[in-house]
């Protein structure tokens, strides 16, 4: 385990077969709930495309950031695949079950600015993140914007557990090395974060 400012990174926690099986499940999710590029509250489109599974999903538009019970199309979000729920139970057995799995897709040039995840109600519950495909430079700071940060590369099969004080840490993805992994034939990176929302 690698500790990045209180965030626990488990390199290659998932083997190649598990990674491929997860990609397959996530293709199924995106078939029901297509990826979309959320708009920030300032009306600027994000470079990362997203979708969700579970009883709610994260959306963003000019009305702000929030969890909604349906996809922007009006369709219910698909259920969280069992394979994801099994990983949650294996890595955070003491936590409540997740309400949502947020799926982020990074194509060539996509990145995510420094932010806090604070649209959830209970910050005592952890977030579990799974990286698939191309490697990404992940940056973590403290709970105040503009503080000291540390970076590490997240690679396909890495699992990250965010709990305790790190739950409200600023974090982001500076860049993705497009084509660095063979997992996705067209390249790109998928990150799934499971969260307790209510
Ligand atoms: C540290 N995703 O979806 S995952 C996000 O790789 C998000 O797509 C990034 O930040 C990605 O909100 C980073 C690792 C992660 C997730 C949540 C965190 C790190 C975190 C919450 C608090 C602190
Ligand atoms: Fe985040």
Ligand 1 binding pocket includes 127 (Cβ within 6 Å): yes
- Is residue 193 within 8 A of residue 129, CB to CB? The reply is yes
Atom of ligand 1 nearest to the CA of 106: 8
Mean pLDDT, residues 159-174 taken together: 98
- Measured in Å, residue 170 CA sits from the centre of ligand 2 at 8
Q: Atom 6 (ligand 1): residue with closest C-alpha?
A: 191
- 3-state secondary structure at position 165: helix
The CATH code of the domain that includes 16 is 2.60.120.590
> In Å, how far from its chain's centre is CA 183?
17
Can you give the pLDDT at residue 41? 85
Look at ligand 1, atom 22, and give the residue with the nearest C-alpha.
167
Q: How confident is the model at residue 8 (pLDDT cuts 50, 70, 90)?
A: very high
Q: How far is CA 9 from the centre of its chain?
A: 14
User: Residue 151 corresponds to which tokens in the numbers above?
Assistant: 């970076």
Mean pLDDT of 20-38: 98
Q: How far apart are CA 140 and CA 195, in angstroms?
A: 18
pLDDT for the residue 28: 98
CB 28 within 8 A of CB 78: yes
Q: Give Cβ neighbours of residue 141 (< 8 Å, ≥ 6 apart).
A: 5, 114, 147, 148, 149, 150, 169, 170, 171
Please count the structural domains in the chain: 1
> Nearest 5°: CA angle at 83, between 80 and 85?
55
**84 has a pLDDT exceeding 90:** yes
Opening angle at CA 195, ends 186 and 143, nearest 5: 100
Percent of the chain with pLDDT over 70: 100
Q: Best of 102, 147, 151, 162 to mutate for ligand 1, by most ligand atoms within 8 A of CB?
A: 162
Average pLDDT over residues 123-151: 98
**Alpha carbon of 193 to ligand 1 centroid (Å):** 7
Q: What average pLDDT does the segment 145-152 reach?
A: 97
Report whether pLDDT(70) > 90.
yes
Picking from 45, 65, 167, the residue whose alpha carbon sits closest to that of residue 112 is: 45
Ligand 1, atom 12, lies closest to the CA of 117
Average pLDDT score, the chain: 97
By the 8 A CB rule, do 97 and 196 touch? Answer: yes
Beta strands in 80-188 (DSSP E): 100-106, 112-115, 127-133, 136-140, 150-154, 159-162, 171-176
Burial of 100 (0-12, 13-18, 19+ CB in 10 A): buried
Domain range for residue 13? 2-195
């Amino acid at each position: 385990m690698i500790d990045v400012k209180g965030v626990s990174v488990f390199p290659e926690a998932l083997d190649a077969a598990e990674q491929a099986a997860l990609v397959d499940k996530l293709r199924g999710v995106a078939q029901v709930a297509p990826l979309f590029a959320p708009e920030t509250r300032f009306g600027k489109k994000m470079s990362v495309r997203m979708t969700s599974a579970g009883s709610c999903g994260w959306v963003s538009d000019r009305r702000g950031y929030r969890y909604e019970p349906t996809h922007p199309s009006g369709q219910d979000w698909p259920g969280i695949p069992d394979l994801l729920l099994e990983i949650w139970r294996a890595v955070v057995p003491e936590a409540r079950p997740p309400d949502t799995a947020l799926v982020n897709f990074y194509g060539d040039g996509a990145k995510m600015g420094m932010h806090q995840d604070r649209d959830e109600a209970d910050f005592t519950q952890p977030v579990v993140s799974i990286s698939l495909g191309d490697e990404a430079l992940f940056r973590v700071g403290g709970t105040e914007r503009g503080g000291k940060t540390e970076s590490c590369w997240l690679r396909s099969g890495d699992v990250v557990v965010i709990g305790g004080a790190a739950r409200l840490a600023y974090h982001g993805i500076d860049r993705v090395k497009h084509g660095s992994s063979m997992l996705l034939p067209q390249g790109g990176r998928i990150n799934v974060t499971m969260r307790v929302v209510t």
